[in-house]
Amino acid sequence: MPPDSRAARQRGVRAALATEGVDGLLVTHLPNIRYLTGFTGSAGLLLVRPSDAVLVTDFRYATQAPREVGEAARVDVDPVSVWQRLGKELAEVPLEALGVEAQSLTIRDAERVSGATRGRVVPTVDLVERLRAAKDPDEVRAIRCAASLAQDALAEVLPEIGPGRTEREIAAALEGALRRGGSEWHPFPTIVASGPRSALPHARTSGRVLEPGDWLLLDFGAQVDGYCADLTRTVVVGRRADERQRAVYQLVETAQRRALDHLRAGMTGREGDALAREVIAERGFGDAFGHSLGHGLGLEVHEAPRVAPTAEAPLPLHAVVTVEPGIYLPGWGGVRLEDDVYLGPDGPECLSDNRTELVELV
C-alpha cells in the first residue's frame, strides 16, 4: 500500500477528531490498523494524534512491523505488554480526551485504556470505517483480482461435481483451488449447501451426499492484498432443472439484473435494496427473501455500507458492495446469486463476471 494513501487516510482520521470531541484516537480493530498503516499482524495498538501516529506491537512483529509500516507510523515494540507501552506513550504526551473504537473494544481492554490515560476516554463509532467505505483505485483493483481468482477456482471445480459427492468434499476442492490460485486465505467459511439445505441462507457445509436434481448453492470468496471478494452461484446437479427450479432461478436472476443495472452511489441503501426486493415481492416471494440485498466489501467481507431495507444512509461514491438476492423455500431449496459491484462516477461496474446463467451439471 503506497505511503501517500496511508498518509491521506490518517489525515482523514485527524480531520474527524475535532468533530468527535477528542484529541487522539486509539485504533484497536486490526483491519483499521492495516488500512491506516499497512501492518498485517495479529497484535497491535495504533495511537493517532494530531501530529503523529504510533503503532505499538510485540516481539513477534519486531521485524515485520517496521518493514510493513515504513514511514506511516512510528513503531514501538514492547517485549512484555503492548498496554504497558501504550501507558508510557500516553504519559509522555498526555491527551485530554482519547477516543476509542466502541464497536471493537472489549470491556477488559476499555479498563486497560482507562488505567493508561489521565484524560477522558470517549467512545467513537465507525470513525475509520466511514473512511474505508469509499475505495481508492488500488483497493478496487485488489477486489477485482480476488473476484477473478474466485471465478477461476469455481471453473476448475465445477466439472468435478456430481451426485455422490459430499458437500465437504466440494468445499475442500473449492478451497484448494482458491489457495492454489493465489488466495491469501478464505474471507469466511465456504458455504456448500445442497438439496433442501440450500434453503438455509448461511448453512454450515455438511457431509450430505448430493442427489440427482439437487440444488447446489456455493458461497465462497478469495483474498488478495488483504481485500475480499464474495460470490455465490447456484447450480443444479445430476439432471436438467425442472419447471419450478427454472422459474425460481429466473426470478432471482431478474431481480439481480435490475439491481445491477440501476444501483447508484447517492441512493440510500434502502432504495438500492428495493430494486431487487420489489421484483421478488411482486411475484409473491417477498417473505422468502429475508436478508438484505448486500453489504460493503473491502478488508473485511462485511463492512460499510449496507444495502438493506433499514439502511437510510446514502451509498458512498466509490463504494464496493455485493448484490445478492435470494429465494429460500424450506423443504425444497433455495437460490442465491451474488456479484461484487463498484459504485463509480459513471454508474455501477461489476468486478466479478456475473456469469449467472443457469448451470446444469449433467
Rounded CA-CA distance 98/162 in Å is 57
pLDDT digits (tens, 9 = 90+) for 253-302: 999 999 999 999 999 999 999 999 999 999 999 999 999 999 999 999 99
Q: Specify whether the backbone of 188 is left (phi greater than 0), alpha (psi in -120 to 50) or beta.
A: beta
For residues 339 and 196, membership in a common domain is answered with: yes
Percent of the chain with pLDDT over 90: 95
Q: Per the structure, how many domains does the chain have?
A: 2
Domain that holds residue 153: 137-361
H helix or E strand, kind and range, residue 203? none
Q: Which of 105-114, 308-317, 321-330, 349-358 has the lowest mean pLDDT?
A: 105-114
CATH number of the domain to which 309 belongs:
3.90.230.10
57-116 pLDDT per residue, tens: 999 999 999 999 999 999 999 988 899 999 999 998 889 999 999 999 999 999 999 988
Q: Helix, strand, coil proportions of the chain in percent (round to 5)?
A: 40, 25, 35
Q: Which of 22-26, 40-44, 84-88, 349-353 has the lowest mean pLDDT?
A: 84-88
User: What integer pLDDT is reported at residue 4 of this predicted model?
Assistant: 76
Same domain for 123 and 199, yes or no, is: no
Q: CB under 8 Å to 155, separation ≥6 — which residues? A: none
Asked if pLDDT for residue 37 goes beyond 60, the answer is yes
CB 174, CB 190: distance < 8 Å: yes
Residue range 298-313: mean pLDDT, rounded: 98
Q: At what angle do helices 3-20 and 30-37 cross, to 10 degrees?
A: 120
The yes-or-no verdict on residue 3 having pLDDT over 70 is no
Spatial CB neighbours of 105, under 8 Å, sequence gap ≥ 6: 28, 113
How big is the chain by its Cα radius of gyration, in Å?
23
- Region 355-359 average pLDDT: 96
Residues 117 and 145 in one domain: no
The single-letter code of the amino acid at 339 is D
Task: Give the CATH number of the domain where residue 83 resides.
Answer: 3.40.350.10
Query: Is residue 292 located within the same domain as residue 344?
Result: yes
**Measured in Å, how far apart are the chain's first and last C-alpha atoms?**
45
Give the length of the chain. Answer: 362
Residues 115 and 171 in one domain: no
Q: How confident is the model at residue 316 (pLDDT cuts 50, 70, 90)?
A: very high
